[in-house]
Amino acid sequence: MAFRASIFLRQELKVRPAFELALRSSCLQLVLSRWGLETAALMGLRGEQSASNDDRKERAVEAITKAMYESGLDEHATDLEREMLEKPYRSWEYKDYVYGDHWESFGVLQWILGRQHTIPAYYSSFDRARLFQSTGIMPADPTTVEKFVDPFMSSHMRQTVDASQLQHEVDISEAWVWRARAQVLLTLREELAKETEADSSSKVSDTPVQAALRSKHIPHSLRRMAADLPKTIPLAAKRAHAKGLVKAVEDDDFAITVELKDTAGQHKSALVPYSSLDQDHLDSIRKIAESRFLAFAWSLGKADSWDVEKVGEIVSINPLSSMWTPNQS
């Protein structure tokens, strides 16, 4: 019976046509190129504040926008992406800079297309320079977009990533996005409990807690598990490790590898439990997990549109989250 259940809960993953992934990847590369210019301007990197430097970057921004239209990517970009690329240089808002979280989505798309050999651990990021180099796209040159996309337009183009390898990476993604969401719920567990105990007649639907959960894209169906998380996380860590979805368990939690310096100043690696990280690192891992999960969900048709806000509507890509499916042995 367990074997039959595991088969039922393991549907074949069907990837979108390769050219769709290539077009989506190209759109991301143009936006992330613009993101780099805007971020450098915002931070004043290396003290470059001269008028000539600003003029050069402004021309680069205009070239990227022009490339979007000349390559035809404007038909495949989201409304938000077109809006961001059409804005004048140095006019981006906070919500535009947040789009930099999509570097990890970009990496997953490149991996599915066979342009990246591995997906880094979920507490590490893709090498951004290598991601850009792997496409051969020069953001200001629309012909390079065509050169990247054209090979994927063939009807004979086959999926380059092995099906079992794809399934394994999807399972890993589900495990880490579950753990990231669990941490958000764990942090707000007491507040959620108070809301549950509050008089239901008040019917306050947009409390600060609910707004926080919505901003971090926590599916509504998962919020009920908050009270049981102290018991559920150790079980999840054990199952994830047994299934090969995490490399190690530390203090009954997902293990994170960190680099430390010993008394002699030498670097060494150490394992720490997920929950021991500070808030900045927790947010960083959550964004990595969420961004990669979006790329897998969209690539496999689980998400109809490229919209990070809709990630909060998706609990898992498999019919049941990979950690909780019965073993097939």
- Alpha-carbon distance of 266 to 221, in angstroms, equals 46
Q: What average pLDDT does the segment 239-256 reach? A: 97
- Alpha-carbon distance of 31 to 27, in angstroms, equals 6
Q: Give tens-digit pLDDT for 200-236.
A: 545 556 788 888 888 888 988 888 888 899 999 999 9
Winning range, highest mean pLDDT, from 8-12, 173-177, 224-228, 256-260: 173-177
Tell me which of 4 and 276 has the higher pLDDT.
Answer: 276
Domain boundary assignment for the chain? 18-153, 163-324
160 touches 114 (CB < 8 A): yes
The token pair that represents 198 in the structure block: 């509050």
Whether residue 328 is predicted with pLDDT greater than 80 in this model: the reply is no
Nearest Cα to 256, choosing from 238, 274, 282? 274
Q: Give tens-digit pLDDT for 275-319.
A: 999 999 999 999 999 999 999 999 999 999 999 888 888 999 999
Report the percent of the chain where pLDDT is more than 70.
Answer: 89
Q: Give the side-chain half-sphere CA count within 13 A for 73.
A: 34
291 touches 128 (CB < 8 A): no
- Mean pLDDT, the chain, integer: 89
Whether residue 1 is predicted with pLDDT greater than 60 in this model: the reply is no
Q: What average pLDDT does the segment 164-180 reach? A: 97
- Alpha-carbon distance of 20 to 116, in angstroms, equals 17
User: Tokens 């600060």 sit at which residue?
Assistant: 208
Q: Give tens-digit pLDDT for 103-123.
A: 999 999 999 999 999 999 999
Please report, for residues 60, 178, 238, 244, the alpha-carbon distance to residue 231 in angstroms, rounded to integers and kept in the order given.
Answer: 53, 15, 12, 21
- Alpha-carbon distance of 5 to 327, in angstroms, equals 9
pTM for this model (two decimals): 0.90
Q: Give tens-digit pLDDT for 8-63.
A: 455 689 999 999 999 999 999 999 999 999 999 888 755 555 666 788 899 999 99
Whether residue 131 is predicted with pLDDT greater than 50 in this model: the reply is yes
47 touches 191 (CB < 8 A): no
Report the percent of the chain where pLDDT is more than 90.
Answer: 67
- Alpha-carbon distance of 316 to 236, in angstroms, equals 15
